[in-house]
């Protein structure tokens, strides 16, 4: 009994010190967006907004021609696809999709040499009818190499190649503006390979290759920058710079800062270079290909605050390389992520705002190519995961592979898999595990057997969080609310925890919390022997509060000696009184009733009395 408070304290400390148990987040293998069907043609792309919504866009043969289909991704799960190029009977090509928060999405494609767009406004469910952004005149050259980007604020830009020039169009609200002036530098030179990225501030950065160089230029609303910059370099490690192409660019929320990665020849060796655009000047130059000769077109993704993830393949070994950019604006040199393979890896990268991202690539041996991925957990690449199911056939790299990330740490990888009638558009996801709940400790002792348990809401961009509540290891309830009631608890310390569970069953247990119940009054033993006037009266007190860990502990002892004197006994912090002597000196002989009131921490009270006979 006398060890009880110590034990209780030890348990309390142990309980409070437990960390939440985090589940391992995981890649979830691909599930079909469309198919199996021999009509599946190719992937256009996948996009995820920062708040978690997404779309997969692809081409599928319908009524005798390829047409544009899109599937909404709800928490990463594909919904029933729908066709966007309704009313168009000729073949569509190069579909692209981009998204921003609150459901705003934009799809563009080429049909009959013209560029078409369909908008899904924020807060809406439906895609608007197709609208021509660029209408090709009869017999005039058609648009091609369509690229699309939408910033977090909803502003969007697209580039396309037309007659050897890179053209740009901007969407603000619901209004398109097609720029009269090409983005590229020299009207007489052929420009190609354009890419575009849009900042949160509504500024875009276009990069393209032209006359063997890679260039970049900002687009500020409806104005082209007056300071286009050449990104490709004259030399690297003593080797002269040759032809450059295949730029991939991304831009921070503050459009002052952007990176452009591209491929360039140096003395006959193909390297991938990344350069930082600061204001209107390129500042840093870094090779991010792990020193590999034969590096191919990079794929770059960045957060709004400037962290980055790049993927590229190596010709020959067909190795996929991943490189990361830290918040200090420093790239690591890149590292191989898989093993050599006979298949072009078609690597893609997607990075969430929380700094976690995915690099996915195609690989395999002999029997067929499959899709693999490694998670960048903001410190290192985790082990390789397989995204595709080999029983569904080979992954068709030429049909397109794409990846996208939301802000909260979720990523989606879309691809085409299978041959003949077994062709499918697939999407695999990395679903970030839920965060642990917080708050809700009841570490004070209470005179109740019922508690209202409350905890903090777990924000998850893919939603669907449920909370499983366990009390003393026994499931109490599962709820989507952030509170639950528990009753009928016996005296003592109880432990409860709240586990957040997401829609894919991933769970994270919150820290153990205490519920302390004490409805039992302290136990008091009060004895007295005969006393003499002026001498300390031999009154002895024992006071405890429950067995083992069941009691809150004695908090106060008030003694009324019967002669008008009242004393408050100092109670040791350990919460019990063991053989305390109440040494009152009575001034007159007589019979006195000693009344002791003992209260415990929870507020329970016990009164004990005894009689003292005081003689001369």
- The torsion of the CA quartet 403, 404, 405, 411, rounded to 10 degrees, works out to -40
Nearest distance in Å: CB 224, another protein: 9
DSSP 244-306: EEEEEEEE-SSTTEEEEEEEEEETTEEEEEEEEEETTEEEEEEE-STT-TTB---EEEE-TTS
CA distance 82 to 129: 12
Q: Which is nearer to another protein, 173 or 564 (CB)?
A: 173
CA distance 12 to 444: 11
Residue 35 falls in which region: left (phi positive, over 0), alpha (psi -120 to 50) or beta: left
Nearest distance in Å: CB 200, another protein: 3
Q: Which is nearer to another protein, 351 or 413 (CB)?
A: 351
Q: Which is nearer to another protein, 225 or 384 (CB)?
A: 225
Q: Which is nearer to another protein, 221 or 565 (CB)?
A: 221
Nearest distance in Å: CB 220, another protein: 4
CA distance 98 to 54: 8
**CA triplet 457, 462, 466: central angle to 5 degrees?**
45
Q: Is the dihedral of CA 29, 34, 39, 43 positive or negative?
A: negative
CA distance 94 to 293: 31
> 81-98 b/e with 16+ CB inside 10 Å = b?
bebbbeebeebbbbbbbb
Nearest distance in Å: CB 411, another protein: 18
Q: Which is nearer to another protein, 205 or 214 (CB)?
A: 205
CA distance 330 to 326: 6
DSSP 368-379: --EEEEEEE-SS
DSSP 80-112: --EESSTT--SPEEEEEEEE-GGG-EEEEEEET
Q: Which is nearer to another protein, 5 or 151 (CB)?
A: 151
Q: Which residues bind another protein (CB under 8 A)?
A: 50, 151-153, 155, 172, 199-203, 218, 220, 223, 225-227, 252-257, 278-280, 304, 353, 407
Nearest distance in Å: CB 374, another protein: 27
Q: Which is nearer to another protein, 221 or 587 (CB)?
A: 221
Q: Which is nearer to another protein, 199 or 369 (CB)?
A: 199
CA distance 359 to 380: 12
Length of the chain: 616
Nearest distance in Å: CB 218, another protein: 5
Nearest distance in Å: CB 227, another protein: 5
Instruction: Give the CA distances from residue 218 to residues 192, 201, 309, 353, 445, in Å, rounded to whole numbers and listed in that order.
Output: 17, 12, 21, 23, 63
Strand order in 539-544's β-sheet?
523-528, 539-544, 577-582
How many other CB atoms sit within 10 Å of the CB of residue 138? 6
In Å, the largest CA–CA distance within the chain is: 130
CA distance 474 to 199: 49
**CA triplet 185, 189, 194: central angle to 5 degrees?**
65
Nearest distance in Å: CB 173, another protein: 9
The 3-state DSSP class for residue 421 equals helix
Nearest distance in Å: CB 325, another protein: 17
Nearest distance in Å: CB 549, another protein: 32
Nearest distance in Å: CB 461, another protein: 11
Q: Which is nearer to another protein, 15 or 166 (CB)?
A: 166
Nearest distance in Å: CB 56, another protein: 24
Decide if 426 contacts 73 (C-beta within 8 A).
no
Q: Which is nearer to another protein, 88 or 410 (CB)?
A: 410
Nearest distance in Å: CB 152, another protein: 4
Q: Show the tokens assigned to 37.
A: 């069907």
CA distance 169 to 494: 63
Q: Which is nearer to another protein, 206 or 571 (CB)?
A: 206
Q: Show the tokens assigned to 355.
A: 């700094």
Q: Which is nearer to another protein, 230 or 449 (CB)?
A: 230
HSE-up of 521 (CA within 13 Å, CB side)? 10
Q: Which is nearer to another protein, 177 or 225 (CB)?
A: 225
DSSP 512-540: PEEEEE--SPPEEEEEE--EETTSB--EE
Nearest distance in Å: CB 434, another protein: 20
Q: Which is nearer to another protein, 256 or 335 (CB)?
A: 256
The 3-state DSSP class for residue 16 equals helix
Nearest distance in Å: CB 460, another protein: 15
Q: Which is nearer to another protein, 151 or 313 (CB)?
A: 151
């Amino acid at each position: 009994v006398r060890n009880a408070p110590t034990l209780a304290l030890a348990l309390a400390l142990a309980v409070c010190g437990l960390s939440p148990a985090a589940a391992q987040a995981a890649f979830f293998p691909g599930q079909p967006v469309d198919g199996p069907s021999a009509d599946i043609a190719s992937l256009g792309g996948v996009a995820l907004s920062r708040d978690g919504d997404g779309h997969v866009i692809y081409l599928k043969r319908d009524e005798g021609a390829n047409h544009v289909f899109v599937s909404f991704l709800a928490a990463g799960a594909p919904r029933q696809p729908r066709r966007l190029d309704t009313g168009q009977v000729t073949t569509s090509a190069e579909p692209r999709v981009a998204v921003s928060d609150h459901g705003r999405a934009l799809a563009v494609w080429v049909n009959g040499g013209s560029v078409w767009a369909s908008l899904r406004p924020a807060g809406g469910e439906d895609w608007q009818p197709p609208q021509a952004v660029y209408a090709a005149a009869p017999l005039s050259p058609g648009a091609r190499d369509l690229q699309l980007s939408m910033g977090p604020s909803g502003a969007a830009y697209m580039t396309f190649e037309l007659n050897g020039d890179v053209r740009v169009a901007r969407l603000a609200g619901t209004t398109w503006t097609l720029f009269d002036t090409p983005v590229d530098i020299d009207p007489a030179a052929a420009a190609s390979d354009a890419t575009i990225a849009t900042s949160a501030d509504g500024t875009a950065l276009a990069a393209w290759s032209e006359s063997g160089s890679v260039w970049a230029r900002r687009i500020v609303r409806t104005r082209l920058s007056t300071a286009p910059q050449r990104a490709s370099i004259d030399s690297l490690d003593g080797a002269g710079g040759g032809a450059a192409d295949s730029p991939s660019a991304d831009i921070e929320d503050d459009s002052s800062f952007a990176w452009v990665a591209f491929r360039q020849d140096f003395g006959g060796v193909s390297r991938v270079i990344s350069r930082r655009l600061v204001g209107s000047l390129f500042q840093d130059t870094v090779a991010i290909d792990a020193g590999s000769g034969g590096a191919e077109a990079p794929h770059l993704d960045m957060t709004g605050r400037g962290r980055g993830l790049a993927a590229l393949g190596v010709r020959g070994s067909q190795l996929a390389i991943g490189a990361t950019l830290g918040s200090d604006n420093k790239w690591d040199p890149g590292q191989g992520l898989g093993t050599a393979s006979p298949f072009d890896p078609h690597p893609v990268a997607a990075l969430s705002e929380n700094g976690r991202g995915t690099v996915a690539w195609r690989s395999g041996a002999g029997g067929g190519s499959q899709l693999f991925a490694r998670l960048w957990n903001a410190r290192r690449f985790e082990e390789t995961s397989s995204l595709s199911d080999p029983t569904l056939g080979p992954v068709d790299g030429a049909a397109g592979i794409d990846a996208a990330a939301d802000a909260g740490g979720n990523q989606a990888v879309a691809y085409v898999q299978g041959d003949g009638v077994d062709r499918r558009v697939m999407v695999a996801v990395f679903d970030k595990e839920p965060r642990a709940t917080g708050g809700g400790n009841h570490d004070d002792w209470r005179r109740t057997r019922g508690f209202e348990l409350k905890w903090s809401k777990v924000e998850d961009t893919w939603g669907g969080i449920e909370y499983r509540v366990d009390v003393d290891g026994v499931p109490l309830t599962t709820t989507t609310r952030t509170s639950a009631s528990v009753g009928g608890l016996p005296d003592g310390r109880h432990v409860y925890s709240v586990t957040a569970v997401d829609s894919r069953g991933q769970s994270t247990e919150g820290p153990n919390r205490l519920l302390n119940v004490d409805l039992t009054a302290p136990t008091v033993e009060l004895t007295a022997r005969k006393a003499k006037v002026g001498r300390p009266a031999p009154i002895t007190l024992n006071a405890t509060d429950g067995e083992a860990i069941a009691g809150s502990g004695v908090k106060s002892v008030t003694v009324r000696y019967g002669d008008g004197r009242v004393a408050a006994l100092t109670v040791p912090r350990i919460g019990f009184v063991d053989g305390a002597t109440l040494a009152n000196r009575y001034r007159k002989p007589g019979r006195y009733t000693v009344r002791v009131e003992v209260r415990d921490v929870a507020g329970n009270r016990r009164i004990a009395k005894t009689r003292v006979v005081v003689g001369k």
